[in-house]
Structure 1
Amino acid sequence: MKSWGSNSNPTPCSSGGRYASVADAAAQQNTEAVIEMLSQGHRADIQDSDGNTALHYAAWFRLDSLLTPLLEKRARPDIPNNSGECAVHWAAKSSNVMALDAMTRVNRALLSMRDCDGFTAFIVSAQTDNCPVMEWMYLKGVSLEEQDDQGRTALQWACHKGNKKTVQWLLSRSASIVHRDREGMTALHWAAMQGHTIITEMLMEVGAVDLLDVPDCSGETPIELAMRKNKRTLVMAFHKCQIFKLLFGRPHLFQNNYASLFLGFVAFNIILFAFVVAPGIAARNPEAVMTWSILMGLSLLLWVQCLYSDPGWLQPRTINSQSHLMGKDPAKTFDVEQPIESQMAHCDNVLQKLISTCDGEAPQLMKLELEQNKYNYQRQLLREARKRLEEGCGLGDPRSPALGESQPLIAAGFNDAGSRQAQLDRATVTLHERERAAGDSLGRARVEHLLAQGGGEYLSFVEKGDFKQVCVICRTVREFRSHHVKEQGRCVHRMDHYCPWIDNSVGLGNQRSFFVFVTLMFATVLYFYYTVFLYFFDTVFPEISRGSFSELLQSVTSGSLGAEVQPAPS
């Protein structure tokens, strides 16, 4: 039997050498050494020079065979390294769902462990564009609105990083576009500042056009931020969205510019034919005028049919408008002096409005989401109170008299620093217990809601981490030849391609109509050239033969279109 000792100068790179700790053996991915050292009584929680434990490396390198032995030896997944990251963070970074499940099965609240910057595994996954792992954590009860120490959510980080797929997933789960961080910036502010045009379009589709004139704490709106960063194209797009919202009630007529360009070309051809070509050939070739008019009319009808047809959606649309979160004036939902309390009050107003519109009872899932979001804000209040206490500024009253009891976990009266610290500790423990209970309830409610929609097979794939078989945005199992259309945020059965000219996907549901449209449009174009050929033979060439055309051309080139003026006889 090999002996894995703990001398002060180990040689971890040698298979027959000695390791200083279980963590060093795991860092070299030597599973045999780790298991042998655990059997000899070595501590499973010992940290290396970087503060990492064996669980960190088992999660990062996907050493799944080490998870059970380490956890049986009471290895703790909540031990932070020198950067404040615990093993749960590393498992999320490596998309190791098996490790996440094993380490948090007893206590799902470990999924919300924070590093030195307040980043949770959920926020880290948003920063790395890892929405499949975020879906797994979402079904375990993790809040969509988890905030780091600066009050930034996963949606804000995804918009800042330009992670389009994660932004689309978060919007499909109704992550709030109204939330503000400590600087008063929304997700739209961050996307505009970084110049992420596609992400701003996603946000506009769900109602962020109403936030274009909302300033942050420094008084800058998303339009002003884009202008300051010299994103002039984005500024023009913002103003266009505002105009379209005013005229048509929506920020876009089409999801791309090609459909508008198609309509422009069609309008130009119709005007050219109606006022130039048709008058010149109608006398001799009336059937040509009638034929082209019928072809163009049928082409436009088929274009409209393809535009609004169902290409074969696998699931109903999951990305919906968030206009109900805006309020009458979105700028008034945030108070610079009380940023946390004002947003908590807005959440309460949204819940009350939801109850009033649902005959006195809001959906249970929505109530749990808003309750969990309130705990996120209460955590920020506790952090602010602890920060003031550490700075020696006094704890003050963390409750807002104007907004009512926004932090019910802390009493108003304090005598000395010791009692204040004890009060904060008790409030923190109470909040963690409530967050854990709310997360468990929310996770069960989300799973039950998914099962009620017939998502049992989808759920089994997500639980196993087999994300290649599913689409986490549409919440559906991938069928043969089905694909997710990022332009529309939905999966299409037997998808062929996304056609920007019809602003729609081409799939099983509209392949035939699309083929007929393309064929008929091609015939319309060819027949238009035929009518132009007739126009030249019926109008242009006869004018040339009579000389009138040359006279007109000579007059134009000489700069005179009238008869020469002669002096009057005396």
Structure 2
Amino acid sequence: MYGYQTTHVAAQFGQTAFLYHIVSKWNADPDVLDNDGRSPLHWAAYKGFADCIRLLIFLDAYRGHQDKEGCTPLHWAAIRGNLEACTVLVQAGKKEDLMVTDNTGLTPAQLASDKNHCQLAFFLGNARRLLDRHCDGNSRLGKLSKLGLAPVLWCVIFVLLITYIHSVILGPNLPKLTAASGLLAWSGVFLATAGLFMFYRCSSKDPGFIRMNLHDSENKKDDEPLLNIEINHPALLAGNWSQLCATCKIVRPLRANHCSTCNRCVEQFDHHCPWVSNCIGKRNKWEFFIFLVLEVLAMLITGGITLTRILTVPFAHPSFRARIQYAFTHLVGATSFLVVDFVLFFIVFVLTVRQANQISRNITTNEMANTMRYSYLRCRW
């Protein structure tokens, strides 16, 4: 009835393990169509079973199948407002998947908006813009976007250092430094420079990218097994389907996650930092944390020295108003540095405290934001 095969029924009820069993042991077709032209991937997307979607895409199920209504699996996930299902399909898909229209001429994003799934419509619209940027990677704008904000942050720190040295340490309108205060003042420069070195290491170092296992299903011979050998990974046999990455075609280690910006899986993925232009993961998290600590200490010392220097300027009438007016008219460089240093200090300090707290609890930013998605964390809360 309705042309349903065993794989359709398994997908309709979210029976990922059973679906895996019948495909691996009985060679069931994961891409078979029912009477309405719907594949198991259509049904898994409609019902919102993300683990089934991951498995089917891993098995090279075709994402572009359109049923009698012209709907792809992404259309059905958008109709039902299944955000996680859409996320898996978008990450493993291409720009064209977001532009396919059904028989009524609507894209998945337009369908989500039509069904009042505002958050999902925003996600799909933003995903299209991101994929447009990735596809335009060979253009000058695309190459600049790949650099991220690391060059900007590098220039900001460098300009602040030059301003501090020129306008605070060597400022002509400020009192001469004593040996002790001079040593402390230059220690701020040393810490900031050391922080720049750690920033370079964090930005250029491999954060823990996991080697992708891309296999070309189109070049497979008829007598080759449908499944890659890694599908027999112990984690999958134990039912941990969230470790299956449909994009990288790998069974990733526990605590690894796929970065949509880098389009790679990262071990102990913390977050993708646009200011570092790199992911923060297992291999560079300590460089990132040390960079934050060094810059916080540098800003604390340089800000304290700058404030002390401004307040110790000799005045005939040392009123507070007179000092403020003098600082903004004769000590422009030092005052500007103090204001910027004060703002940046609190931003970076909060981030540093947050990172220190997470390191002490052995948890990442990604895990904090998605606690209920990870079974190994649920017992801790």
Q: Same fold (TM over 0.5)?
A: yes
Structure 1 Cα separation of the partners of residues 49 and 92 of structure 2? 17
Q: Deviations over 1:324-376 (max 9, x none)?
A: xxxxxxxxxxxxxxxxxxxxxxxxxxxxxx6xxxxxxx4314xxxxxxxxxxx
| Partner SS, residue 169 of structure 1 | helix
| 1:446 is aligned to 2:225 | yes
| 1:299 is aligned to 2:199 | yes
| 1:498 is aligned to 2:272 | no
Structure 1 Cα separation of the partners of residues 67 and 31 of structure 2? 11
2:121 to 227, 235, 239: 235
Alpha-carbon distance, 1:178 to partner: 0.8
Structure 2 Cα separation of the partners of residues 319 and 161 of structure 1? 28
The corresponding residue for 1:530 is: 301
Q: Deviations over 1:238-287 (max 9, x none)?
A: 33333333333279xxxxxxxx9996995796388368756543526456
The corresponding residue for 2:220 is: 363
| 1:467 is aligned to 2:237 | yes
Structure 1 Cα separation of the partners of residues 120 and 165 of structure 2? 42
Q: Deviations over 1:53-72 (max 9, x none)?
A: xxxxxxxxxxxxxxxxxxxx
> Contact 2:94–2:131 (CA<8 Å) still a contact in 1?
no
Structure 2 Cα separation of the partners of residues 290 and 176 of structure 1? 56
Amino acid at match of 1:203: L
The corresponding residue for 1:200 is: 86
| Partner SS, residue 203 of structure 1 | helix
Alpha-carbon distance, 1:540 to partner: 5.9
| Partner SS, residue 269 of structure 2 | strand
Specify whether residues 484 and 158 from structure 1 end up closer, same or farther in structure 2 by C-alpha distance, changes over 3 A only. farther
The corresponding residue for 2:20 is: 135
Q: Which runs of 5+ in 2 are unaligned?
A: 138-146, 172-184, 330-381
Larger Rg: 1
The corresponding residue for 2:5 is: 120
> Contact 2:191–2:294 (CA<8 Å) still a contact in 1?
no
Alignment of 1:155-234 (within 5 A): 155-234=41-120
1:281 to 168, 177, 192: 168
> Contact 1:125–1:131 (CA<8 Å) still a contact in 2?
yes
Amino acid at match of 1:160: Y
1:317 to 213, 232, 235: 213
Structure 1 Cα separation of the partners of residues 75 and 314 of structure 2? 63
Specify whether residues 266 and 199 from structure 1 end up closer, same or farther in structure 2 by C-alpha distance, changes over 3 A only. farther
Structure 2 Cα separation of the partners of residues 500 and 125 of structure 1? 34
Normalising by structure 1, what TM-score?
0.42
The corresponding residue for 1:514 is: 285
> Contact 1:277–1:532 (CA<8 Å) still a contact in 2?
no
The corresponding residue for 1:154 is: 40
| Partner SS, residue 213 of structure 2 | coil
Specify whether residues 552 and 527 from structure 1 end up closer, same or farther in structure 2 by C-alpha distance, changes over 3 A only. closer
Q: Deviations over 1:85-137 (max 9, x none)?
A: xxxxxxxxxxxxxxxxxxxxxxxxxxxxxxx3433221222223322221221
| Partner SS, residue 230 of structure 1 | coil
Q: Deviations over 1:376-430 (max 9, x none)?
A: xxxxxxxxxxxxxxxxxxxxxxxxxxxxxxxxxxxxxxxxxxxxxxxxxxxxxxx
Structure 1 Cα separation of the partners of residues 170 and 114 of structure 2? 61
> Contact 2:78–2:120 (CA<8 Å) still a contact in 1?
yes
Q: Deviations over 1:300-330 (max 9, x none)?
A: 42244143x34xx4x743599x9xxxxxxxx
| Partner SS, residue 498 of structure 1 | coil
Structure 1 Cα separation of the partners of residues 2 and 17 of structure 2? 23
> Contact 1:129–1:163 (CA<8 Å) still a contact in 2?
yes
Structure 1 Cα separation of the partners of residues 154 and 119 of structure 2? 26
Specify whether residues 223 and 477 from structure 1 end up closer, same or farther in structure 2 by C-alpha distance, changes over 3 A only. closer
Alpha-carbon distance, 1:551 to partner: 3.7
Amino acid at match of 1:181: D
Structure 2 Cα separation of the partners of residues 276 and 233 of structure 1? 44
Specify whether residues 364 and 543 from structure 1 end up closer, same or farther in structure 2 by C-alpha distance, changes over 3 A only. farther
What RMSD, in angstroms, separates the aligned Cα atoms of the two structures? 4.5
> Contact 1:280–1:535 (CA<8 Å) still a contact in 2?
no
Q: Deviations over 1:153-210 (max 9, x none)?
A: 1112222222222212222122111110111011121222233333333323333322
Specify whether residues 280 and 174 from structure 1 end up closer, same or farther in structure 2 by C-alpha distance, changes over 3 A only. farther
Normalising by structure 2, what TM-score?
0.60
| Partner SS, residue 65 of structure 2 | coil
Alpha-carbon distance, 1:537 to partner: 1.9
Specify whether residues 490 and 549 from structure 1 end up closer, same or farther in structure 2 by C-alpha distance, changes over 3 A only. closer
Specify whether residues 149 and 551 from structure 1 end up closer, same or farther in structure 2 by C-alpha distance, changes over 3 A only. same
Q: Which runs of 5+ in 1 are unaligned?
A: 1-115, 252-259, 323-353, 355-361, 366-443, 556-570
Amino acid at match of 1:530: I
Q: Deviations over 1:283-305 (max 9, x none)?
A: 26456335403413422422441
Specify whether residues 198 and 301 from structure 1 end up closer, same or farther in structure 2 by C-alpha distance, changes over 3 A only. farther
Alignment of 1:84-103 (within 5 A): none
Structure 2 Cα separation of the partners of residues 500 and 445 of structure 1? 38
Structure 1 Cα separation of the partners of residues 91 and 314 of structure 2? 55
| Partner SS, residue 317 of structure 1 | coil
Identity %: 17
Aligned residues: 292
The corresponding residue for 1:421 is: none
| Partner SS, residue 527 of structure 1 | helix
